[in-house]
Amino acid sequence: MPRYARGTVVSVERSRSEIEECLRRYGASEFHSGWKADAAMIAFQLRELFIRFILPLPNQKEKRFTHKKDRYGFDKKMTEIQVLKEWEQEIRQRWRALLLVIKAKLEAVECGISKVEQEFLSFIVTNSGATIGEWILDDGRLAELTLNVPQHLLLSGPKNTAEIVDAEFEVKEKGTAK
């Protein structure tokens, strides 16, 4: 499957700047960014929530950057310049994808499709400094939450709110279809 912005030439700095401007347009009151060898981070305050995204960065020594298949299917070692070019391309692509994710979440909130808390739930920073997503995954709470869901709830949707008919929703009131 093709990856979003796979061949982008947009710099990391421009993508980060676009994220910051997008957040400002949608009402964020703070913006922070940083990086280390294996990850970049952006954080922002939106309404009363502090939200943090960690963008994992690949290791430049991974085989997918250091070797390519030649036309006969054999691994060919890349030059240092080629490795750097491929690695930087991957990082630019990831920043564009992060921008896309944030824009989509903010627009879903703006249009009333969702709420800020729903869209950014796993990225909300708790008092301990961990995000809600980290808190759920690191302590094994996800398995606990999913194992205790009654099976009949997984197979049926909300009761008496809507019926799906040919991929359209029909709301019934007092025995009549609307």
Cα–Cα distance, 15 to 9 (Å, whole number): 10
Domain that holds residue 46: 12-133
Cα–Cα distance, 131 to 129 (Å, whole number): 7
pLDDT tens digits for the chain (178 residues)?
A: 778 888 899 999 999 999 999 999 999 999 999 999 999 999 999 999 999 999 999 999 999 999 999 999 999 999 999 999 999 999 999 999 999 999 999 999 999 999 999 999 999 999 999 999 999 888 777 777 666 666 665 565 555 555 555 555 555 555 554 4
Q: Are residues 118 and 154 in the same domain?
A: no
What tokens appear for 53 in the block? 């995204």
**Buried/exposed code over 25-42 (b: 16+ C-beta within 10 A; e: otherwise):** ebebeeeeeeeeeeebeb
Q: Are residues 111 and 75 in the same domain?
A: yes
Query: Does a structural domain hold residue 40?
Result: yes
Q: Are residues 115 and 154 in the same domain?
A: no
Q: Are residues 53 and 116 in the same domain?
A: yes
> What is the pTM assigned to this prediction?
0.79
Predicted confidence at residue 82, as pLDDT, reads: 95
